Amino acid sequence: MRSCTLCPRRCKADRTAGHSGYCGESSDIRIARAARHDWEEPCISGANGSGAIFFSGCSLGCVYCQNHEISTGGKGKVVTVNRLREIIRSLESSGVHNINLVTASHFAPLVVEALKPRPTIPVVWNSSGYESVETLKLLEGSVQIYLPDLKYSDNRLAEKYSNAPDYFETATKAILEMYRQTGPYVLDDDGILKSGVIIRHLILPGALENSFGVLEWIAENFLSGEVLVSLMSQYLPNTSASGFPELGRIIEKEEYDAVEQRLYELGIEDGYLQDLNSAEESYIPEFDFEGL
C-alpha cells in the first residue's frame, strides 16, 4: 500500500505512512461490526445467519450509501491482522453459514492473510462491484462467493452519484473475473450457497433505464444456472444525498414492477426479488463495534 493501486481509483496514496487513500483509510484495518447478520439473501443468511464483518472506508463512496456512517463517516476501530483472524474464527465457531466480508477491497492483501488457514465455511466477498481485476486475482482460492453490486449501466449517473464515470466498464469486467474464479453457483440441499456469484442491483428512484441496462448486460453475459440476481427495492433517502432532490424518496411500486417485468422478459429466472417494505431502517445494522 506504499503507492496504493488496490482499487480502480489507483490514487497511489502512501497508506503505509499513515496517509489516507481515496477510500479514506490508511494501511490499518478498521472495522465497525462483526456479528451474525440475518438480512442478506436467503441463500446467504439461511437459518443460522451470515457472519458479517463490516469494514470502514470505501473506494466508491455513493452519495446515497445506507452505510455512510462507516463508508465515508470515519467510524471504525483499528484491528491487527491477527485480531481479524481471531474474529473470523469466532464467527466460524458460532455456527453461521459463511464469513461475509463487507466492503473490504481496500484492505485486500491483509484480509487474505487473515483468512489463513482457510475457514471451513465459505467466504463471501460483499462489494460495490467497483473492483480492480488485479486485486480480485489476489483473492482467488480465499473467496468462494462473490456478492457484488452492479449499480449502474448509465455512467452519467455513476459519475453524478459515485464520482465514477468508468463504473459500468470496470464493474462488469470485475464481475466476469469473479465468475471466472467461482464458475456456476452451487447450492447445498438446504438452499445455502456454497460457491458462485450473486449480482445485486439496487433500483434508484427515477432511474428505470439504468436498471434496464444492468439487467440486459446480465442476460447477454450469463446463461440460466450460472449466476444469481438479486433485484433490490430497499433504497432509502438519507441526509448524505440531500443535494440530490431526485433521490429524496423511496422507489414507487410502478418502478419496481417495471424493472421486474423487464427481468422476466429477458429470461432471468435465478435469484431473488424484494418486497417494497424492505425500504426500512431496520435493515441497516448498528455499527456499535459488536464482536470486536
CA distances (Å), origin 43, targets 69, 78, 117? 27, 31, 25
Cβ pair 155, 166 in contact under 8 A: yes
DSSP β-bridge partners for residue 87: none
Q: Which three cell numbers stand for residue 118?
A: 482457510
- What stretches of the chain adopt beta strand conformation (E)? 29-37, 50-55, 77-79, 99-102, 123-127, 145-148, 186-187, 193-202, 228-232, 271-272
| Number of compact structural domains in the chain | 1
User: How far apart are alpha carbons 139 and 202 in whole angstroms?
Assistant: 25
- Non-local (6+) Cβ contacts of 116 within 8 A are 85
What pTM did the predictor assign? 0.96
| Residue bearing cell 463487507 | 102
Q: Is residue 244 part of a domain?
A: yes
Q: Is residue 170 part of a domain?
A: yes
Q: Is residue 13 part of a domain?
A: no
Q: Is residue 52 part of a domain?
A: yes
Taking Cα atoms as reference points, which of 239, 217, 51 lies closest to residue 129?
Answer: 217
Whichever domain contains 51, its CATH number is: 3.20.20.70
Cα–chain-centroid distance for residue 165? 19
Q: Is residue 9 part of a domain?
A: no
Q: Is residue 25 part of a domain?
A: no
Q: Is residue 10 part of a domain?
A: no
pLDDT along the chain (292 residues), means of 10: 92 93 96 96 97 97 91 91 98 98 97 97 98 98 98 98 98 98 98 98 98 98 98 88 90 96 97 78 79 89
Q: Is residue 146 part of a domain?
A: yes
Residue 138 is part of which domain span? 30-283
| Residue bearing cell 500500500 | 1
Cβ pair 274, 229 in contact under 8 A: no
User: How far apart are alpha carbons 266 and 246 in whole angstroms?
Assistant: 28
Q: Which three cell numbers stand for residue 51?
A: 457472519
